Amino acid sequence: MRKKLKAKCHCFFGKCLVCLFIAGLLAGCGKENEEVPLPTQVPEISVTPEETPTPEATPTPEPTLESESEYDIPDMQLESFEIPQNDALTYVKEMKIGWNLGNTLDASDCTWLNDELDYESAWCGAKTSEKLIKTVKESGFQTIRIPVSWHNHVEGEDYKISETWMARVQEIVDMAVREGMNIILNIHHDNSTDFMYPSTEYLEQSKHYVTSVWKQIAERFAEYDEHLIFETLNEPRMVGTNFEWWLNPNDESCKDAVAAINELNQAIVDTIRAAEGNNKSRYIMVPGYCASPDGALNAGFVMPEDSAEQKLIVSVHAYTPYDFALNAEGTDQFDSAKVADVKSITDFMDQLYNKFIKNGIPVVIGEFGARAKSNVQARIDFSVAYVAAARARGITCCWWDNNAFIGMGENFGLIDRKSLKWRFEEIVQGLMKYAE
């Protein structure tokens, strides 16, 4: 059964240089036009649209074309799942649904800039305003994820964070605090052999970097309450290898990376807990390899030991099904009434439910979405089905919004950050339908 709406038809042709990656994976950052050797076997996992664009990669969106059209907001038959009762699962349920301030504070390696504060608009073309955060909250989003890259804003052997940069991060966090939102703060595009790299070879260097940065973040935000969540790492992976975006459980380098990520997660949790104030009991999100479902489901992935009880959340990114949600050469079709289409989402969510949620461990999908392919109706169907399936299993999801609408890149934008108008209001309505 479908509910008919009168709506505006939004047509865009977008460009935002973000990751193009290899066959069948889903959730990651790869350089556009970069050739990466294909693995011999490619399972479908989930990875992120993130990459280092040039300043021209995210132009100001063209005006919305307004022509009368009709879109359907589909109804879903929801399967009932038993959700254990504990504070952590209740907290994640109350996070409801989230939105990413993507390609903003996470911009990195922008060597053409003279002022570090210009990083904020280097990729997305706009500075963050209080009105933007207010508009996002008023539209129903209860959670905001604020990705931050730090390595361009540190100096010295102990990676002292620039006060100018830290103050701007705090200013944006405070905007969300005033709106009463849940906030996820992380370290984002810092995955390199110079900073954090998940392997035994670079483990000590990586531990030094992540613990130095997290010690400063935890101290700065020590008095913020549990509405501020720390996410240890963003898509930790072996950048530039055949296994950057997929995990071969039989490969020794993959086994080594999984073990290294376990140690890095543990070191960060210990660092946060050692800080003063509310860090003793703050919620912390921890990912597996490349933050994919396969990374979290891998037998080698272990949750950190924690001095706080029931305060850890599994962090996953899932642009699934890959061919629809992320692959530029894939399909532009998704129908919530087709069992096979919905099953491409529920299969990995069932596995997360059985391993974690069923055992009292919450899961947050910190990034998901479907890039625009002139297919508004299909993206509405996807949004409804994805959120409905996740919420039925006790999972909260956060849409990746990079403010990108034009060109041929990964256009995940929903709201124009300059005009503060939703370009795809019907997708937002679809996201909200089963978000409670």
The residues carrying an active-site annotation are: 188, 235, 367
Round to whole Å and give the CA distance between 177 and 243: 38
Residue 55 dihedral angles phi and psi, to the nearest 5°: -60, -30
State how far the alpha carbon of 202 is from the alpha carbons of 156, 214, 238, in Å.
18, 18, 11
Round to whole Å and give the CA distance between 221 and 278: 9
| Burial class of 69 by CB neighbour count within 10 A (0 to 12, 13 to 18, 19+) | middle
CA 61-401-79 angle, to 5 degrees, is: 135
User: What is the chain's length?
Assistant: 436
Round to whole Å and give the CA distance between 78 and 251: 38
Task: Check: CB of residue 206 under 8 Å from CB of residue 254.
Answer: no
Which amino acid type is present at position 167? A
Task: Check: CB of residue 423 under 8 Å from CB of residue 416.
Answer: yes
Tell me how far the alpha carbon of residue 182 is from its chain's centroid.
15
Q: Which among 388, 389, 318 is positioned nearest to 353, based on CA atoms?
A: 389
